[in-house]
Amino acid sequence: FQTRGIKGLDLELCYPHKSFDRQSMVWDMNYFKYLFLKLLAVPFNEQLLEQDFISLADYLLVPEQNFFLYRDFQTANIMVVNGEPWFIDYQGGRRGAAQYDLASLLYDAKIQMKTAERESFLQYYIKNFCSSTVEDPDMFRKYYNGFCMIRLMQALGAFGFRGLYEHKPTFTESIVPGVGLLLEIINEAENHLVLPELYKTIRSITDSKIYRDLSTGLIRE
């Protein structure tokens, strides 16, 4: 998808954006802020968090962007028909970095995957992707955690909106595992990516009463 899907693609037909650009990234992070953090009443410094959002967007625009970004490359969009995989819900596709779709698949809050399994899939992808492109494996890994972060933030924004606001239980059930994955990612990312207010805010999520109620089963929808 990432390497062949971009060839001959008329980007003018991509909606709402033809690439996963700065504006798209900021939209996703604000989605997380307004439809997840605020719904859970998580405290944060508005100005400092905005600065970290901009810093993260700047960071994620550094790697090669000339690949097809499927956007919602998650397990729910992979259908198995007669033993063969079929892929749906790609209408949000656009140009972007290859790391995003891998992050969408391996950090899907709706599935259970061990860290060792996730690492095995990551190594397999990097080996095959980098052998067919001029991309450097170390550079791919360098930016991978950042894309995992923004993907999980976007997903949690969706879980907050669909689950807490629209009261759809299948989305509410994904909040606790989604937060767990995001906490796991920031523990790795903070070794090379300075986003102090964002990290502080994410770690504060578990102090939210709504989050605690979700984690103990007091809120089911």
DSSP letter for each residue of 71-132: S--SGGGEEEETTEEEE---TT-EEE-THHHHHHHHT-TTS---HHHHHHHHHHHHHHHHHH
pTM, 2 dp: 0.93
Domain of residue 114 covers: 23-67+97-216
- Residue 31 in contact with residue 154, Cβ under 8 Å? yes
In this prediction, residues 23-35 reach a mean pLDDT of: 97
Residues forming a β-bridge with 127: none
Judge whether 171 lies within some domain: yes
Judge whether 72 lies within some domain: no
Judge whether 16 lies within some domain: no
Judge whether 194 lies within some domain: yes
| pLDDT over 90 at 61, yes or no | yes
User: How many domains does one find in the chain?
Assistant: 1
Judge whether 78 lies within some domain: no
Which pLDDT belongs to residue 134?
87
| pLDDT over 80 at 220, yes or no | no
Judge whether 102 lies within some domain: yes
- Residue 181 in contact with residue 107, Cβ under 8 Å? yes
Judge whether 86 lies within some domain: no
Which pLDDT belongs to residue 7?
87
| CA 102 – CA 18 distance, rounded (Å) | 19
